[in-house]
């Protein structure tokens, strides 16, 4: 079921409890912590697509690689991240990180993030954009996003009525 933030619909949302340790000496959540919130949401988004940690060696770990057309040596890495801070965030709170894939390239993708605060009535506290690249870890080179993974991303975003540029 799509989630709406302002005029935008998102198919994926990830809640994060603001921890006391996220607060800096100025009394608000430190700007660097927002990047961790986006990272946690991105990992959960990938898990929703059937991808775990491609390098995981935990007993019983399943990374969904075969179903997505990936080998265990290939996975997404962040190439660029930008965050615009809209409002200060405080402890205690629960934020909701809304994630949408907005563009699919040959080996890269752009994701949009909108972070909202429960304590501030759902107000947007930050917006972000991340470019990730599908990388062959050992070779250190980008690889094409496989058709099965593309299809999963497109299907997930279609749940929110989103069309993806380049899909």
Q: What domains are there in the chain, each with its CATH number?
A: 3-158 (3.10.129.10)
How far apart CA 137 and CA 23 sit, in angstroms, is 34
- What are the pLDDT digits (tens) for 79-128? 999 999 999 999 999 999 999 999 999 999 999 999 999 999 999 999 99
Global confidence as pTM: 0.88
Instruction: Compute φ and ψ for 99, nearest 5 degrees.
Output: -125, 135
- What are the pLDDT digits (tens) for 138-153? 899 999 999 999 999 9
> Is the model's pLDDT at 62 over the cut of 50?
no
- What are the pLDDT digits (tens) for 21-33? 999 999 999 999 9
Burial of 57 (0-12, 13-18, 19+ CB in 10 A): exposed
How far apart CA 138 and CA 12 sit, in angstroms, is 31
Mean pLDDT of 44-63: 64
How far apart CA 119 and CA 152 sit, in angstroms, is 33
Of 8-22, 33-47, 61-75, minimum mean pLDDT range: 61-75
Q: Residue 5: which of 86, 81, 80 has the closest Cα? A: 86
Q: Which residues pair with 60 in a beta bridge?
A: none
């Amino acid at each position: 079921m799509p989630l709406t933030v302002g005029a935008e619909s998102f198919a994926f949302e990830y809640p994060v409890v603001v921890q006391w340790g996220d607060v800096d000496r100025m009394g608000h959540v430190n700007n660097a912590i927002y990047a961790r919130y986006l990272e946690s949401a991105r990992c959960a988004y990938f898990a929703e697509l059937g991808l775990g940690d491609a390098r995981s060696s935990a007993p019983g770990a399943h990374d969904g690689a075969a179903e997505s057309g990936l080998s265990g040596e290939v996975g997404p890495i962040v190439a660029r991240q930008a965050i615009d801070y809209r409002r200060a965030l405080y402890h205690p709170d629960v934020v909701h990180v809304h994630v949408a894939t907005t563009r699919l390239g040959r080996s890269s993708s752009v994701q949009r993030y909108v972070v909202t605060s429960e304590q501030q009535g759902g107000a947007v506290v930050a917006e972000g954009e991340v470019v990730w690249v599908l990388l062959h870890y050992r070779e250190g080179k980008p690889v094409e996003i496989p058709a099965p993974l593309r299809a999963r991303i497109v299907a997930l975003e279609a749940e929110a009525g989103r069309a993806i540029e380049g899909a």
